[in-house]
Amino acid sequence: QWGNPPCTKQSINIWKVLFPKIHILILEICSAYFNPVPTSKKQLLILAVECFLLSLTNGILLHKWLSTYLQYDPQSVYILAITVAVFMFCVLMLVHPVRCIFGIIIPSIGTKQGRNFLWSAGFMVIILNILPNIITNIRVVFHAMKCITQHSSESILNSTHVLKPIIEDIRSNINTVKDNLGYSTPRKLNIEASVDTAFISGQILKVSENIKEEFISIESGLREGMVLSNRILAGFFITNLLFSSIWYLKRYLTDLKFDNTYITKQLEMLASKRNASRLLPSSSGWLIKSTGVKLSRDELCTSLVHMLILSIFILFTTLAVVGDHMTYQIAVLLGNTVDKVPEINVTFEVQYYVSSISLLFPHLFSQLDIFLLKFLDLQLHEYQWKMSFASANCLQLPSPPDTSAMVTCGFIYGFMFIVILLEAYAHRLRRKISASFYQKREEERVSYLLEKIMQRHGTVDGNQTLKISIRLSFLAIRLSREQAVRQKLANCRHIRCLFGACSRAVKSP
C-alpha cells in the first residue's frame, strides 16, 4: 500500500529549474526511504546510507545524553550506544513500518512528548547547576561566619595569657617588699590565671564541623536524588515517545475516523471530481485546512494555555537565578568586609604601690606621713595586646553563577516556545508522513471524509426540502378549500336566480 511520497507529488517549478540535480537526488532519497522494498541496487545503496547516517547520529546523541546529562558510567554508555546504533541500522533496513514509526517520532518531539522532555531537561539544569551553586555560596557565607565567631572567641580567650606577665610582675614586686621588711612573715600570696581555651576551641570546632557535614550531606543527597529522578523521567520519555508513535500508526491504519479532520489537496481534488467542492468551505468549522498556515480556534487556544504554563515556569526559574546572584553577591560582600576588618590594639594599664604602717594605733599613725613606711613607690605598667576577629582561613572564594546553565535554560525555554507554536504543524506533519508511507490507506480515509461531508450536507438539504414540501402542501390545501367555498357561493347564487325567475313567471298572467 505504498504510493508516491509527498516530496514527489507537487514539486516547485523554480526548484526544478534552478537545482535540477538536487531535486532529482531528493526524489531518489525519498523514494528509497518510503518504498517498502528497494527496486534497484542504487535504491538499496541509498537506503543503506540513509539508515547508517540515522543510526550513527542517534548513537552519538544517545552517548552524549547518557554520559553528560544522566551521568551514567562512560564505558557502559559507550557499549550501549554502539549496540543501539547497530540494532537500529538493521531494523531500519529490514522493516518498513519501523521506518514509518521513526519518521513519526521526529515530529512527535514537537508535540506533548517533546514538551515533557524539555520540561525534564530544564528542571535538570536548574537542579544540577543553579541550586547546587546557591548551596555552595550559602556554605561559604556560613563558613565565614563560623570562622569569624571561632577566631574571635579564641582571641578573647587567649587574652588571658596577657595576665601572666602582669601577675609575674606583681609577684616579683611583692617579693621585693617582703625582702625589704627584714623579717619573715607567714603570709603567702599565690596568684594564677588559668583558662582551658583548648576545650572551648574544640567544642566550637566540633559544632562547625557538624554544620559543614550536614550541608555536604544535603547537597550530595539532592544531587543523587535529582540524577535518579532524571534517569527515570528520561526512560519514561523514551518509552512514551516510542509507544505513542506506534499507537498513532496503529490507529491511523485501523480507524478511518482517527485524525481525519484535514482539508488536503487530495480531498479537494476528489471533491472537484464529484462536484462537491462547494461543500468544503461550509465545513471549515470542524475541518482544518492542512495546506495553509492558519491555525484553527482550538489549536490557538491550546497554544495559549501551554504558553501560560511555560511563562509561570519561567517565572520560578527567574527567581532561582536571582537567588543564585543574590547569594553570590552576599558571599562576595562578606568576604570583602572580613578582609577589611582591622585588628584592635588593647592596652592593659596596671597601677599600684605598697606601703606599711604600725600595727599599734593604726588610725592615728595613718594620718601622719612620718610614721608611714613606703616600701614601693607608685608603679605604672602598660601591656600591649592585639585582638583580631578574622584570619586568612576565613576567606573562601564564592562560586559565581554558571552562565552556561543560564544560556542553556534560555535556549530550552526558547525552543519550548517554538515547539508550542509549531505543535499544530507537527500534528499535521505526523499525519502527512503516515500518508506518504500508506498512500492507498490515505485514499480510503479521504474518500470516507468526503462521504461524511456529503452526508452531513445531504441531510441538511433533505430537511430543507421536506420543510418546503410541507409548506407547499399546506398552501395547496388552503387554495383547494378556498376554491370549494367559492364554488358553493357560486352555486347558491345560481339557485337563487332560478327561484327568482320561476316566481316571476308564476305571477305573470
What digits encode the pLDDT tens for the residues 411-461?
Answer: 888 888 888 888 888 888 888 888 888 888 888 888 888 888 777 766 444
Q: What percent of the chain has pLDDT over 70?
A: 63
Mean per-residue pLDDT for 1-9? Answer: 43
Q: Are 262 and 290 in contact (CB under 8 A)?
A: yes
Buried b (16+ CB within 10 A) or exposed e, 320-337: ebebbeebbeebeebbee
Mean per-residue pLDDT for 33-49? Answer: 85
Q: Which amino acid is at 101?
A: I
Q: Which residues pair with 356 in a beta bridge?
A: 373
Q: Who wins on pLDDT, 218 or 198?
A: 218
pLDDT of 264-283, one tens digit each?
787 778 777 777 777 776 66
pLDDT of 98-143, one tens digit each?
888 888 888 887 777 777 777 777 877 787 778 888 888 888 888 7
pLDDT of 60-76, one tens digit each?
988 888 887 777 888 88
- pLDDT over threshold 80, residue 480: no
SS3 for 171? helix
**The predicted structure's pLDDT at residue 278:** 73
Cα–Cα distance list, 205 to 148, 150, 194 (Å): 12, 7, 21
- Of 253, 230, 171, 181, nearest to 442 by C-alpha is 253
Cα distance between residue 138 and residue 399, in whole Å: 10
In the block, residue with C-alpha cell 464529484: 274
- pLDDT over threshold 50, residue 464: no
Cα distance between residue 23 and residue 27, in whole Å: 6
**The predicted structure's pLDDT at residue 354:** 59
Domain ranges of the chain: 107-183+192-343+388-467
Mean per-residue pLDDT for 330-334? Answer: 83
Element (H, E) at 73: none
- Of 436, 443, 444, nearest to 96 by C-alpha is 436
- Does pTM top 0.75 for this prediction? no
In the block, residue with C-alpha cell 479537494: 268
Residue 313 banded pLDDT, cuts 50, 70, 90: confident
User: Using CA atoms in the order 240, 242, 247, 252, what is the torsion angle rounded to 10 degrees?
Assistant: 130
**The predicted structure's pLDDT at residue 359:** 47
Q: Any idea how long the chain is?
A: 509
Q: C-alpha cell of 312?
A: 509561570
Least confident among 25-39, 79-93, 194-208: 194-208
Share the mean pLDDT of the chain.
73
Task: Give 144: exposed, middle or buried? Use CB within 10 Å, 0-12, 13-18, 19+.
Answer: buried
Cα distance between residue 151 and residue 392, in whole Å: 11
Residue 462 banded pLDDT, cuts 50, 70, 90: very low
Q: Are 163 and 193 in contact (CB under 8 A)?
A: yes
Q: Which amino acid is at 166?
A: I
pLDDT of 168-191, one tens digit each?
777 777 776 666 655 455 555 555
- pLDDT over threshold 60, residue 311: yes
